[in-house]
Homo-oligomer: A and B are copies of this chain.
């Protein structure tokens, strides 16, 4: 395996990625809501990646990695470890190319997610839900298959793919002042930095994070990566830590990281479902939650809000009684 993590992807990589993945992704719509504009005093433009193929922006990076492989490498397939949207997205992209996809998932992952991976043609190898077990099982799978490892975010091909989202936002909305996106491992935020720092350097980039998983916030303050061990938050896409490649982008281009409490995230999520009529994940509600509690910071501004995905368990909504 090449050490791809130290290769910083460029704007040209993003443009090449966009050409490569365009047949496999949706150009998702941007929605507005006069209700939320009145509520916040800002003009909000919601980039709806919940309508994306496989239900999340992650299909952009996964498709770029899969379709950028040589035929020889592709024949051995791709592999990753993920219990979330990256597993679905990589399976989707591999299925489109007709190559094998091996995903190592904890045996405790939701059945719905496993079923979705299999539905796209992916093969699941289960492991115990611990980092040690996951890495050991993943090493075995990779040794047996020779498959190309596609990390969920610390991979230049993945970041170049995620960067295509902000390119579309710039085409869809004029004169933005701010773009805000949720931050976990930092793949989407890094892609946003890649595109905006080149094509619209005047646009401020803000990341939004759960208070209970605020390692990126503390990293930015400390000036180095702080990685938490297994933080607990309803925003389950945002539990993972920054890695060197995403840290490069976040530390260089993100002006601020704002945080929201669990209750604020759930309230913002439910309000969006009720008023905008879209199904989105708890992770996607974090930006809106931070806008609502920092109205002065956004009032009068034109703000792009990245809605990252819509894969939720409808039987376990956070406002349901267990």
Contacts and interface: CB of A to CB of B under 8 A. Distances in A.
Contacts of A320: 320
Interface residues of A, number: 19
Interface in A264-319: 270, 273-274, 276-280, 310, 314-315, 317, 319
A315 B55 CA distance: 24
B50 A277 contact: yes
A31 interface: yes
A31 B51 CA distance: 9
A280 B277 CA distance: 7
A271 to B, nearest CB: 10
A50 B273 CA distance: 11
Nearest to A48: B277
A26 to B, nearest CB: 9
A51 B274 CA distance: 11
A165 B273 CA distance: 23
A107 to B, nearest CB: 23
A319 B314 CA distance: 9
A314 B51 contact: no
B29 A277 contact: no
Contacts of A310: 277
Contacts of A273: 279, 314
Please provide the 8 A-B residue pairs with the shortest distance between their CB atoms, ordered closest to farther: A277-B310, A277-B279, A50-B277, A273-B279, A51-B277, A273-B314, A274-B314, A270-B314
Interface of A: 29, 31, 50-51, 55, 270, 273-274, 276-280, 310, 314-315, 317, 319-320
23 contacts: A29-B29, A31-B51, A50-B277, A51-B276, A51-B277, A55-B277, A270-B314, A273-B279, A273-B314, A274-B279, A274-B314, A277-B278, A277-B279, A277-B280, A277-B310, A278-B278, A278-B279, A279-B279, A314-B317, A314-B319, A315-B319, A317-B317, A320-B320
